Amino acid sequence: MFKGFILSESLNNPTILNDFRKIYVKVEDHPESKNARFWHLFKIEIDEKDIEKVAQKTSKELKYGWYAHFWNGKFVYISFVNNVFKIPQEKKWSSKEFQKVKEYGAKNGVEEGYLDFWIEE
């Protein structure tokens, strides 16, 4: 089972969130954000067999400057606009794979302070 985070503000079509099993939805205030002050954070569950399809579908719906990510304890899928990365999950992000993803995100409009790929069990 994979878990993931998607912000409704990050999507061109937020109704795709209706297709997922929600663990919770949380509203956060981010006055420092350039994209949207209030974020609706959806924590979702995805079956292992569906993760590649979900990561690709999400990447097609994301707005520039945003990402979504999904994890299962071994791997993390990070969806950006029209691009998906699969990297090993780490306790402390330090691998070369992580650095490549972080650089890619920064070059594609994601504010550096948000490129931490927060994992929550």
Asked whether the predicted pLDDT for residue 100 surpasses 90, the reply is: yes
Which residue range is the domain that position 66 belongs to?
2-114
Residue 121 lies in a domain: no
Residue 120 lies in a domain: no
DSSP 8-33: GGGBS-GGGGGGSEEEEEEEEE-TT-
Residue 17 lies in a domain: yes
Asked whether the predicted pLDDT for residue 68 surpasses 90, the reply is: yes
Residue 119 lies in a domain: no
In total, how many domains does the chain have? Answer: 1
As a whole number, the mean pLDDT across the chain is 94
**Model pLDDT, residue 33:** 79
Helix (H, G, I), strand (E, B) or coil at 113: helix
Asked whether the predicted pLDDT for residue 35 surpasses 80, the reply is: no
pLDDT band at 59 (very low <50, low <70, confident <90, very high): very high
